[in-house]
Copies of this chain bind each other. A is one copy, B any other.
């Protein structure tokens, strides 16, 4: 009933400890007969190597950590799955770690991934404790990259999507449909992505010689989208199109307009952002900006592993391109009564 160790395998198989270790590590310098003997012994004994011992002996864990706060986001979900698969292909495992809101304060210190040498590298996914994390990770000399950073010029490697371009394209799409009264619902200032998307909107409007109208939502969520539209209508604003900084906001906005008797997209066009899972499930289907989640994850892994094995001395940050997905919530603007 006690834990079976490599020594038991040695005994059972009749070869030396070193040979067993070699089999474990797929070394080619083991005679086939011996390999079989060892494999058989392992099987019989139900042997599994001790990861602690291996990590200790070779100085690395084969684990990559990723930190996140929310689980309820299609984009993060997609990124994480991509990371997981890329990592697997490289022989690494992924350990996620959620930062509770409560941890927000002393987060960096309490984080198990950072605590000790539990992982070989870390991916920071859109964290707000970015500054502390970066400091702590640099101090501990743990290789890391950041996906979706929020600090303007972090001194770290980042993997991002061009949110400025996304905002620009979204607005441009509306402009091309003949809209001129285009309102933007922007997410919290805290998000660099929100700020960039807004800049993109403003740029597109400026280029069209149109005055921007932006409403600041307190959160990236449905309720805020709803409230934003309601207050805007109360104030007499009559946009013919809305570019929402996130799909949740867009969904809330749609709800609100419908509540006021608007038909989408006849009376109002709506563009969201992120292509959340519900975007193509609701009615009308939401036109939105999609982030290349797979690519984001893959790039993060590629760069991080480069940093770990030191193959590339000077890794560079990456900025990817988003894509406009046109669905049914936007239409050409036709004046009507």
Contact = CB atoms under 8 A, between A and B. Distances in A.
Nearest to A96: B96
Contacts of A222: 278, 281-282
28 contacts: A46-B139, A49-B116, A50-B116, A51-B117, A51-B118, A52-B55, A55-B55, A56-B56, A63-B118, A70-B77, A71-B72, A72-B72, A72-B73, A72-B277, A94-B97, A94-B98, A95-B96, A95-B97, A96-B97, A96-B98, A221-B277, A222-B281, A223-B281, A251-B278, A255-B282, A256-B283, A259-B283, A278-B278
Nearest to A99: B84
Interface string A44-66: 00101111111110010101000
A143 interface: no
Given A72-B77, A85-B102, A97-B96, A112 B281 contact: no
Copies of this chain: 2
Nearest to A252: B281
A93 interface: yes
A274 to B, nearest CB: 12
B70 A112 contact: no
Given A46-B140, A93-B97, 8 more contacts: A48-B117, A48-B140, A50-B56, A52-B52, A63-B112, A71-B80, A221-B281, A226-B281
A100 B117 contact: no
Nearest to A111: B93
A256 B281 CA distance: 11
A59, A94, A112: residue with the most chain B Cβ atoms closer than 10 Å:
A112
Contact of A93 (B93, B112, B226): B112
A116 B59 CA distance: 17
A50 B117 CA distance: 6
